Amino acid sequence: MSIITINDLHKVYDGTQVEVHAVNGVTLNIEEGEFSALVGPSGSGKTTLMNMLGGLDRPTSGQVLINGTDLSQLKDSELIDFRLHHIGFVFQSYNLIPVLTALENVEFIMHLQGVPSAERHARARELLEAVGLGDRLNSRPGQLSGGQQQRVAVARALASKPRYVLADEPTANLDSHSTENLLDIMEELNHKENITFVFSTHDARVVKKAHRVIVLEDGKVISDEVREKVGASNSNE
Amino acid sequence: MIIHVAWKNIWRNPTRSLVVILAMVVGMFAGIFMVSFAKGMMKERLNRGIETEVSHIQIHHPKFREADELKYQINDVFQKTKDIEKIEGVNGVSPRIVVQAMVASAETGSGVKLIGTNPDREKTVSNLYTYIKKGKWFEGISRNPVVIGQKLAEKLNVHVRSKIVLTFQDDEGNITSGAFRIAGIYQTVNTSFDETHVYVRFKDLDQLAALPQGAAQEIAVHLSSQKYLNQVKNKLSDMYPNLEVLTWKKLNPEFGYINDVYDYYLYVFIIIILLALGFGIVNTILMAILERVKELGMLMAIGMKKGRVFRMIMWESVMMSIIGGTIGVGIGLLVTIWTNHTGISFDSYKTGFEALGYGTTVHPIIDWGITINVMILVFVTGIVAAIYPALKALKLNPAEALRTE
Ligand SMILES: Nc1ncnc2c1ncn2[C@@H]1O[C@H](COP(=O)(O)OP(=O)(O)OP(=O)(O)O)[C@@H](O)[C@H]1O
Ligand SMILES: [Mg+2]
């Protein structure tokens, strides 16, 4: 069953002079357990598409269905709740809360979900250990490297127990070692817990790890290639 | 946890937050101390007004205060005095003959309020006798003794044992006058009182004024405590339905004014301070929000509802106000307690203060009612000041906010 279904999606920005057709008729299915990369040149509409996939922005026309829920049918406040419970987000610039420790950053989203404090504490610790930060629980984002911060962000994205994680250029600010490390972690989570990952990227090394590569240009999908076996063999190494 | 985050957010830019908190501290300190100071001054003035000048309750003929004529009398004052003394809470009663008179020395004259009273009874309703600076309270002169104020003595250029002549219209309408000799000169801090109040013995004035037996113009009643005020007043009104029974609040309009209207001015003053501080908070919170548009976008993206974002920003403002307000009020209270012990002296402005009837040493006192209301106002200021910035934060669209750098 498709976890995400997109139907003839359009997004038009009213620029000051010209209208920008950032996403121009995209139709896609994302299956449960996919590890997919969205690639394309700068300005091709990756972020715009990801935002609509995550319910952060509303399409000009077309449909986004997640697990059968049509996002356009949700009110703003319902959409926020939907994101909280169903989607994990990882951002390019980490976007952690700078005044909180790694542990608190991961706990915060569970607090929003109303998870009791002891439980969220234990889960946050577990997740940070899983991303290799068991020894940096009480460090604040400013005291962590970019790669470490992004691993905290991955832990945070997973804390809310989403079935689906969206990551817009998660490795753009990372060096190659951190990039590798982060992708391994994400891939392992994908493999072990069957969490669906969709990430956008420019980076050829990241593209290489993806099980499916969707290429976007001028707001349109120009190629969509499934390489399930490559991904599977990588995660078995 | 929202409160925890809000608390940490305050300390992102400690200097900026501290400036706001410090402004709050100074403003609230000034506000509270100013209130305590004014209250101390007022209380002293009221106390002196009651204890020295008017006593707690006075009874008159209903027309007396308006017309101020000898003929508006109370009958049987001695019987009434005995009856009133039995009322619970009353610890002093003194009947008085009151008449407008001219006082003249060898050199000059002056208009005064002439009061005929029993010197010993008078001590139970007024502590004026403790303010005698020269001579004695009706002692040392056997025939027609008089007690006058220092200011009047200076004006008339008279001393203890000097002779003065008092002239007024008696009960039958004839101009009458009598010679009195000064037994004592009192000096309160209220110079205008000192200049206009002249005391003689009840029996001496009774004769001169040709009043019927047992008639007087005023009965002053002193209570053992303020708490009996309304109770005794109502009782007296019931006992003497044809007489006018008034408490000190009505007797001296200035006192009632001090008591009620002054609070209102103090609140206006405090609200002005808070208004100024409120704008400081608006500005600070607004800056703090503009600096973290991206972060707020992220919070909304991952699922933080607008209500929660709103509350978080509210807390930031409220906490700053409460910290600043509490410290400011705390210092204000401490300084009040301290200066209440030591007193604040204004000797260099002595004449000005005394002309208005105020003492030159002020003992500030804490008014808990106002203090609690001020704390509530501080809290409200924090909330109100954050509404505009918080609403601005709510307008953010997460997708756009995340694109900002
Ligand atoms: N808020 C906006 N208003 C107007 N135009 C916008 C807005 N956001 C994006 N665009 C335009 O939409 C197009 C797609 O932008 P988008 O950010 O989705 O591209 P992208 O593929 O993510 O690029 P990059 O790789 O640089 O991140 C671009 O031409 C961009 O200028
Ligand atoms: Mg982008």
Same domain, B66 and B17: no
Same domain, B32 and B149: no
Burial of B211 (0-12, 13-18, 19+ CB in 10 A): buried
- Cβ pairs A/B, distance under 8 A: 69
Read off the tokens for B142. Answer: 């056997």
B237: pLDDT confidence band, cut at 50, 70 and 90? Answer: very high
pLDDT digits (tens, 9 = 90+) for B175-219: 999 999 999 999 998 889 999 999 999 999 999 998 999 999 999
A111 vs B1: CB contact, 8 Å cut-off?
Answer: yes
CA distances from B332 to A237, B34, B210, B329, B365 (A): 70, 9, 58, 5, 11
Q: Which residue has the tokens 């909304």?
A: B300
**Which chain B residues touch A76 with a CB distance below 8 Å?**
306
Same domain, B127 and B237: yes
Same domain, B77 and B201: yes
Residue B262 has pLDDT above 90, yes or no: no
Same domain, B238 and B167: yes
- Quote ipTM for the complex: 0.91
pLDDT digits (tens, 9 = 90+) for A37-54: 999 999 999 999 999 999
In a domain, B158, yes or no: yes
Residue A17 has pLDDT above 90, yes or no: no
**Stretch B136-165: mean pLDDT, rounded?**
94
Same domain, B88 and B235: yes
In a domain, B56, yes or no: no
Which protein residue has the closest C-alpha to ligand 1 atom 27?
A42
**Stretch B270-285: mean pLDDT, rounded?**
89
Same domain, B44 and B67: no
CA neighbor of B168 nearest in space, from B246, B95, B112 = B112
Per the structure, the count of domains in chain B is 2
What is the predicted pLDDT for the residue at A233?
41
Q: DSSP secondary structure string, B261-313?
A: HHHHHHHHHHHHHHHHHHHHHHHHHHHHHHHTHHHHHHHHHHT--HHHHHHHH
Of A12, A13, A56, best ligand 1 pocket probe by most atoms within 8 Å of the beta carbon:
A13
Burial of B342 (0-12, 13-18, 19+ CB in 10 A): exposed
Specify the amino acid at residue A147. Answer: G
pLDDT digits (tens, 9 = 90+) for A163-197: 899 999 999 888 888 899 889 989 998 999 899 99
Residue A230 has pLDDT above 50, yes or no: no
CA neighbor of A46 nearest in space, from A209, A211, A203, A232 = A203
Is the minimum CB–CB distance between A83 and chain B shorter than 8 Å? Answer: yes
**Stretch B298-312: mean pLDDT, rounded?**
93
Same domain, B42 and B66: no
In a domain, B184, yes or no: yes
Q: Which residue has the tokens 């009663």?
A: B93
Same domain, B325 and B219: no
Domain limits, chain A: 34-59+74-225
Which protein residue has the closest C-alpha to ligand 1 atom 17?
A47
**Ligand with smallest separation from the Cα of A57:** 1
In a domain, B55, yes or no: no
Residue B226 has pLDDT above 70, yes or no: yes
In a domain, B344, yes or no: yes
For residues B46 and B212, which has the higher predicted lDDT (pLDDT)? B212
Q: How far apart are CA B60 and CA B62, in angstroms?
A: 6
Strand order in the sheet with A69-70: A19-31, A2-14, A61-66, A69-70
What is the predicted pLDDT for the residue at A104?
95
Same domain, B85 and B18: no
Q: Which residue, B216, B242, B268, sits at the end of a domain?
A: B242
What residues does A69 pair with on adjacent strands? A66
CA neighbor of B143 nearest in space, from B102, B207, B199, B204 = B204
Please give the number of the atom of ligand 1 that sits closest to the Cα of A46: 21
Q: For domain A34-59+74-225, give the CATH superfamily.
A: P-loop containing nucleotide triphosphate hydrolases (3.40.50.300)
Q: Which residue, B242, B265, B282, sits at the end of a domain?
A: B242
In a domain, B15, yes or no: yes
Residue B363 has pLDDT above 60, yes or no: yes
Q: Which residue, B209, B242, B275, sits at the end of a domain?
A: B242
- Domain of residue B86, residue span: 62-242
Residues B138 and B128 sit within 8 Å (Cβ to Cβ): no
A43 Cα: distance to centroid of ligand 1 (angstroms): 5
Q: Give the H or E element holding residue B399.
A: helix B398-403
A1: pLDDT confidence band, cut at 50, 70 and 90? Answer: low
